[in-house]
Amino acid sequence: MLFYRNGFVEILLNRGFLVKIRVKYWAAALGASLLVSTASYGKEFETRRALSKEASNLFFKEEFEKLDALLNNHLASGERSPSGIWKASPLYGNADNSLYFRGEDPDEREWYWDNAREKIGRWTKKYPTSPNAHVYYAKTFVSQAWNIRGHNTADKVKEEDWKPFFENLEKARVYLLKHKSISDKNPDWFVTMLNVANFQQWPDKEYAKLLKEALDRHPLYHEIYFAAVRHLYPKWGGNPAAIEVFAQDAVRRTKDVEGYGMYARIYWVVWDEQYGYKVFKESYVDWPTWQHGIDDVLKKYPDQWNLVNFFKFSCFSGDKQKTQELRAKIHNPEQYYGSAISKDIFAECSQGKIPDMSKYKKK
């Protein structure tokens, strides 16, 4: 393999004490987990919302056997959402998003995480061979680490927050390794460990070894590729050439099933998280390859969510023909304003223009 480098709603309604605090933060977590789902009304969001709701209800009731079955069935079947992502992805991604304390009091924060681990601990105790239970337990440390650090740039992080940040990441790493023989059959074990490795800034050889094992074991699981490409962002010490090499290698690994679709999906993530509309100027993305990937995704998954986003990418690439081809297939675009594209940018792209982003505050 070529490799170069240079938040499940955690409902903490435990029995006993601090009911007021629990209700407050449960409501915040639930609202955050469903925020994306309620932003639009397309089939993709309806699917994600239904999955999140089902998992949340099972977790709240501590019906862990049923929750394991839900997660394992979606992993084993490889069933996809209308847009083509694995249905397992929003279930695990929901945990990353919602295992997050939204208060400011340090004492309440400590209580929150103690109770999170107590609840998931009942899962691991009742079902000690459940990969899901152990992965979720490890996620509490990762989420707590970022909760303490915050999401500001490194120069704005408080000096006293670095130590507990890295301590929690180390706890996650140790826990994941301790339960590797049980849990690494679950691809999200690798996703979580890859994130920890990135945040801990592992040496390139060690990170590459972990990534190779992840892709050899689970070559079609999208989230592994997304976690890996984040490691290659300039803000983590990577560079655009490394991203392009990785995207091309991802195509080689998945071509029999995805065609060039993984290239399109990887650069979709790169657009969202690193470059935005500047991707065509600041990265080494190859538009003909991305276009090929778009076509391969849409052959199987002609969902409106895909069409609107691919329309946006085509517009900023300057490919007017592709932009208009995709525009003709989009219906009721207003349901995606804000979640995928703004009303004004959609209008400009529909007119064959490349939007002047200096007019807009957000990319």
Give the model's pLDDT for residue 37: 38
Contacts of 121 (CB under 8 A, 6+ apart): 137
Contact 49, 94 (CB under 8 A): no
Give the model's pLDDT for residue 60: 82
d(CA 287, CA 259): 16
Give the model's pLDDT for residue 175: 98
Instruction: Provide the angle, in degrees to the nearest 10, between the axes of the packed helices 287-300 and 240-258.
Output: 30
d(CA 221, CA 253): 11
Give the model's pLDDT for residue 17: 28
- The DSSP result for 208-252, as a single string, is HHHHHHHHHH-TT-HHHHHHHHHTTSGGGT--HHHHHHHHHHHHH
Give the model's pLDDT for residue 99: 66
What are the pLDDT tens digits along the chain (363 aa)?
333 333 222 323 332 323 333 434 433 444 444 444 344 457 898 998 899 888 888 888 899 999 999 999 999 999 999 999 999 988 887 666 656 666 667 777 778 888 889 999 999 999 999 999 999 999 999 999 998 898 888 889 999 999 999 999 999 999 999 999 999 999 999 999 999 999 999 999 999 999 999 999 999 999 999 999 999 999 889 999 999 999 999 999 999 999 999 999 999 999 999 999 999 999 999 999 999 999 999 999 999 999 999 999 999 999 999 999 999 999 999 999 988 999 999 999 999 999 998 877 654
For 33, half-sphere exposure in the C-beta direction (CA atoms, 13 angstrom radius) is 32
Give the model's pLDDT for residue 350: 97
Give the model's pLDDT for residue 111: 83
Give the model's pLDDT for residue 113: 84
Query: 78 in the Ramachandran plot: left (φ > 0), alpha (ψ -120 to 50) or beta?
Result: left
Our CA dihedral for 57, 60, 62, 66, rounded to 10 degrees, sits at: 10
Nearest to 34 by CA among 48, 18, 16: 48
d(CA 363, CA 349): 14
Burial class (CB in 10 A: 0-12, 13-18, 19+), 77: exposed
DSSP three-state, residue 331: coil
Give the model's pLDDT for residue 36: 41
Residue matched to tokens 């590459």: 208
Is this structure's pTM higher than 0.85?
yes
Instruction: Provide the angle, in degrees to the nearest 10, between the axes of the packed helices 159-178 and 187-200.
Output: 150
